[in-house]
Structure 1
Amino acid sequence: MRVVLLGPPGAGKGTQARRLAERFGVPHLSTGDLLREQVTAGTVLGRRAADFLDSGRLVPDALITAIVRGRLHSSSVRDGCVLDGCPRSAVQAKALETILAETGTALTAVLEFAVDEEEVVRRIGGRQVCRADSGHIFHLRSAPPAVRGLCDHCGGELYQRTDDRPDTVRQRLAVYAEQTAPVARFYAEAGLLRTVDAAGTTDEVTRRVLGALGLAGAGARP
């Protein structure tokens, strides 16, 4: 199984990607995680990526593609993978197609998580993060701290990240829509795109994800 998950910030695709990966025994490949691994390891690609990350610039398509290519050519993804956060552009989508062809594999499906903009703003806008080293995340509506403004785990101060403020969230959604619309069209034309309603509980969305993959009720690797 080789699946790409598309969706705006706050759609819950990271949670569903982890669930799918665990259920079917394949790696969850997040673009952010892959970048951090390379930076931490101090590889040539990691050093190049760090230059962009440290300056707040977008990492170029070519660099993202090189990092993804290295991982997809490794034995760890022999049985498949769940790609989360990649591809983010039509250029990356076409590059991913080439990489998979190099390994003699292809995508099973591309799932696009659909969620109302205001729901995303509510989900992200309610997040609070511990300022201390624990970094635990709370949510004022769905997972509030026992004592308002304080971390349950270490008593540290909770704060709202700039990226999580409602006006910033709306800007992020606009950028996502502009960048990812061509990706969705690319996979729709290839007959791979399937839309998943991302509203509701985590378990409800998981059932829809499995249904979209034709795996509802599956208990083992397909």
Structure 2
Amino acid sequence: MRLVMLGPPGAGKGTQGQRLSERFNVPQLSTGDMLRAAVNAATPVGLAAKNVIDAGGLVSDDIVIGCVQERLSREDAKRGFILDGFPRTLAQAAALDDLLNSSQHRLTAVVELLVDEELLLDRVQKRAQEALDRGATPRSDDNPETMRQRLASYAESTAVLSNFYYNQGRLVSIDGMRDVDRVTADILEALT
């Protein structure tokens, strides 16, 4: 099983990715986690990423792609994986296709979680309030203005991936606003 999880921030990609990872016994791979691991391991890609991050810059597609390539070459990812947070651009999607083709693999599917923006904003506000109620500090991005900016960024750069994967016949669109268990069941049904 080789999956990509698509959807705006807060759509539930991480939650569903973890569930699918357990179900199919393949690793869930988060771009942020991969970059941090590469930096900590001082790999060539990790050192390049560290230099950019330390300078306050955004990590380039080349560095992110190199990090993903390093991670996918590990033994546990050879039988499958679930990517969360990658690809984010058309260039990254094309690079992923090239990477998989070079190892004679293809994506099984791209699972897109569809969500309503206003309900998503409500979800984020609720999560922030729950953190406050527990005496915890809410996540820094759990406020409506930050979420609106993240959603706009997603719509501008990442949402175009839906058409890219739809044209390849790999896109599976799922109502991400339903109950978590129902979303999982819908994904599993679509994949079988």
TM-score range, shorter chain: over 0.9
Tell me the residue number matched to 2:69. Answer: 69
1:115, 1:199 within 8 Å by CA — same for their partners in 2?
yes
Partner of 2:103: 103
Report the Cα distance in structure 2 between the residues aligned to 1:10 and 1:113, rounded to whole angstroms: 10
Question: Aligned-pair RMSD on alpha carbons?
Answer: 1.7
Cα distance, 1:57 vs. partner? 3.1
Give the Cα–Cα distance (whole angstroms) in 2 for the partners of residues 79 and 126 of structure 1.
38
Say which structure, 1 or 2, has more relative contact order (CA 8 Å, 6+ apart): 2
SS of aligned partner of 1:29: strand
The residue aligned with 1:81 is: 81
Match of 2:167 in 1: 189
TM-fit CA distance, 1:149: 5.5
Q: Look up the match of 2:22.
A: 22
String of CA shifts for 1:147-183, please: whole Å, max 9, x gaps.
x352xxxxxxx22343221011011001001111221
Please state whether the residue corresponding to 2:88 is helix, strand or coil.
coil
Give 2:8's aligned residue.
8
| Contact 1:72–1:100 (CA under 8 A) maintained in structure 2 | no
Identity of aligned residues (%): 46
Residue 4 of structure 1 aligns to a residue whose secondary structure is strand
Give the whole-Å Cα distance in 2 for the aligned partners of 1:195 and 1:187. Answer: 11
Larger radius of gyration: 1
Question: How far, CA to CA, are the matches of 1:149 and 1:5 in structure 2?
Answer: 30
Counterpart of 1:169 in structure 2: which amino acid? M
- 1:33-90 per-position Cα deviation (integer Å, ceiling 9, x unaligned): 1011111222221122123334543211111111111122222212111111110000
3-state SS, counterpart of residue 162 of structure 1: coil
| Aligned residue number for residue 183 of structure 2 | 205
3-state SS in 1 of match to 2:160:
helix
Q: Which amino acid aligns with 2:34?
A: L
Unpaired segments of 5 or more residues in structure 2? none
Write out per-residue CA displacement over residues 182-219 of structure 1, whole angstroms, 9 at most, x where no aligned residue.
211111111111101001221011011111212xxxxx
Which residue of 1 is the match for residue 51 of structure 2? 51
Q: CA–CA distance in 2 between the matches of 1:68 and 1:96?
A: 9
Q: For the structure 1 residues 8 and 55, does the alpha-carbon distance in structure 2 shift closer, same or farther, using more than 3 Å as the test?
A: farther
- C-alpha separation in 2, matches of 1:48 and 1:164: 30
Equivalent AA in structure 2 for residue 73 of structure 1: S
Look up the SS of the partner of 1:199 in the other structure.
coil
Q: Which amino acid aligns with 2:9?
A: P
Cα separation, 1, equivalents of 2:160 and 2:37: 28
Q: Given the superposition, is the C-alpha separation of residues 4 and 149 from structure 1 closer, same or farther in structure 2, using an over 3 Å criterion?
A: closer
Unaligned runs of 5+ in 1: 129-138, 151-157, 215-222
Distance 1:205 1:54 in 2: 39
Q: CA deviation at 1:19?
A: 0.5
Superposition deviation, residue 125 in structure 1 = 2.6
Alignment partner of 1:171 is 2:157: no
Which structure has the highest helix share of the two? 2
